[in-house]
Chain A
Amino acid sequence: MTTTLYEDRESAIHRLNPVTKLVAMLSIIIIVFAVQIWWVALGIVVFIVVPAAVVSGTGGRLLSLSLKLLLPILIVLVLLQGLFFPEGTTVLAEFGPARVTVEGLMFALGIGSRIAALVLCSLVLLLTTNPALLMTSLTEKGMSPKMSYVISSTLQIIPAFQTRAQSILLAQQARGLRLKGNPLRRAGAILPLVSPLVLGMFTDVEERSTAMEARGFSSPATHTSFVVVPDPVGQKIARWLLIAVAVASVVLSLLGVFK
């Protein structure tokens, strides 16, 4: 039980070094926001992100998650920018003070395609990347093991605390706590849950810190890694190329090439 979206499968995308996927995701995000041309973002989604999801066997999950995440954002964007874009001059339709303009719709398309690229890229990374391997790879690339611990434990600990909150709630209900009724009453019912949960967390943090130190967490020794993550030369080169393209897109954007 974790908060991660990772789906354990066998695919070429899954086998990529996690850092390569992370660099690819960040590069794509930088490129689509630097270039600011809607068809570039859309092209990346159609020709890179969607095929990657299909090859990795996570297309269905990606579709379901992206609909939940993106649809509300895109609807709001189209409604706000499409109907109330102040600089819109080419009017397609009018509804009282609201005007559907070509410029407004194009603006919404530009923003929407970039947000879609950002969300979809991030989801493909999360769906195809084992968090443990990502942390190991990042540690191998120089990230502090303590930072790696903080990120990994956060991913793991949230559901554990949800379970604990559920147990406390059940215990309080067994002692007569009533959760039904008006919102004020339900809000009041949360109070007996908060105190044992928060106090328990403080105790846990102290105990866990003792246990971590007992296992050499602050040891000055050079950390070793049990998990081995392959990192072929080809992927190292690909990462540098991606970084170069991302940097170039930012530089060209600053020079006004994409205006």
Chain B
Amino acid sequence: MIELRDVAYAYPDTDHYVLDGVDLTVARGEVVGVIGASGVGKTTLAKIIAGFIPNVEGGTLDGSVAVDDVPISSLPLAEAVAQVGLVIQNPFNQISGAKFSVREEIVFGLENTGVPRDEMITRVTDVAALLRIDHLLDRSPYALSGGQMQLVAIASVIVMGTPVLVMDEPTSQLDPGGSRMVFDVISALTDAGTSVLIFEHKVELLREHADRIAVLAEGRIIHEGTPRAVLTDDRLESWSVGSTRYTRAARAARGAGIVHPDAALPVSLSDSTEYFTTQRTGR
């Protein structure tokens, strides 16, 4: 479980708080998606939850950040990373660069934390099957495409088995099929009790897989709720966040007077079909 209370943060040598008053809770086994415009502080927030800020990067952190009721900033980094797995945005930098095969790359973190070899074999086999990268295990990490590298990067964090996962745009390099698979894996992990906080622009996938969506804007969580409630909110555009293509089409139709103005906006294909079938005004 992740619990942030009134979190504010300013980078070193500046008085400007990039985050100011963030409140957010992710329960055990819950997926919460965070959306927000570029540069709004999503990566900073991810690093705070994972214990890197202020431990490594310094700066001024106010408020409280707790993982399973333990203040994460009070833990030494080695203990914090045992609680929170962090998938960073660029898979090229997620991989160690020191291993000569994908298999060795995935177990790098397990070697560092002293996991016995037999357990490593089990874990790498399981995670490779989960992410369908079994066929890549003997390849060099640098011989992979961007999408394959991203799957390996995700596998290398999932294999650590932390109770909390923070993922910063984990599908940025993936095609629609790969992105969907990653979200299926996230669902499987949450079924097993992992709490997942995911920073993502692909709102349609969040709509499908997140329990809740939070909007990060103006340095805080400005809006939060079920995917349907958030993604159909009229203020979304003003926060520079996109809604689903179904919602956008419905809004356009509503603006043109083709559908009834009071009907609830759709967020999915099935919603949309029903919406345009039942809510037409006849114009």
Which residues of chain A have a CB within 8 Å of any CB of chain B?
Answer: 1-2, 130-132, 135, 145, 148-149, 152-153, 156-157, 159-160, 204, 207-208, 210-228
Contacts and interface: CB of A to CB of B under 8 A. Distances in A.
A221 B113 contact: yes
18 contacts: A1-B140, A2-B140, A132-B100, A156-B100, A204-B90, A210-B47, A211-B88, A213-B52, A214-B88, A215-B157, A217-B112, A219-B112, A219-B114, A221-B78, A224-B110, A224-B114, A224-B120, A226-B104
Given A1-B143, A226-B107, A219 B113 contact: yes
A79 to B, nearest CB: 41
Nearest to B78: A219
What range describes how many residues of B lie at the interface?
A: 35 or more
B66 to A, nearest CB: 19
Interface of B: 47, 50, 52, 56, 77-78, 81-82, 85-86, 88, 90, 92-101, 103-104, 107-117, 120-121, 124, 140-143, 153, 156-157, 160
Provide the main secondary structure of the chain B interface.
helix
A153 B96 contact: yes
A107 to B, nearest CB: 42
Contacts of B90: 204, 207
A132 B104 contact: yes
Contacts of A215: 81, 96, 108-109, 112, 156-157, 160
Contact of B97 (A148, A153, A213): A153
Given A152-B98, A211-B88, A215-B112, A226 B93 contact: no
Contact of B98 (A1, A153, A218): A153
A149 to B, nearest CB: 5
Contacts of A223: 111-112, 114
A223 to B, nearest CB: 6
Contacts of B160: 215-216
B121 to A, nearest CB: 8
A43 to B, nearest CB: 35
A134 to B, nearest CB: 10
The 5 tightest CB contacts between A and B, nearest first, are A215-B109, A221-B114, A216-B112, A152-B98, A207-B93
Nearest to B112: A216
Interface centre among A132, A213, A226 (most CB of B within 10 A): A226
Contacts of B97: 152-153, 156-157, 160, 208
Nearest to A139: B111
A159 B97 CA distance: 11
A199 to B, nearest CB: 14
A135 B99 CA distance: 10
A17 B141 CA distance: 24
Contacts of B117: 224-226, 228
A122 to B, nearest CB: 20
A149 B82 CA distance: 21
Given A160-B92, A219-B82, A223-B111, 9 more contacts: A156-B141, A210-B47, A211-B94, A211-B96, A212-B96, A214-B109, A218-B78, A226-B103, A226-B104
Contacts of A145: 112
Contacts of A132: 99-101, 104
A214 B116 contact: no
Contact of A216 (B103, B109, B116, B124): B109
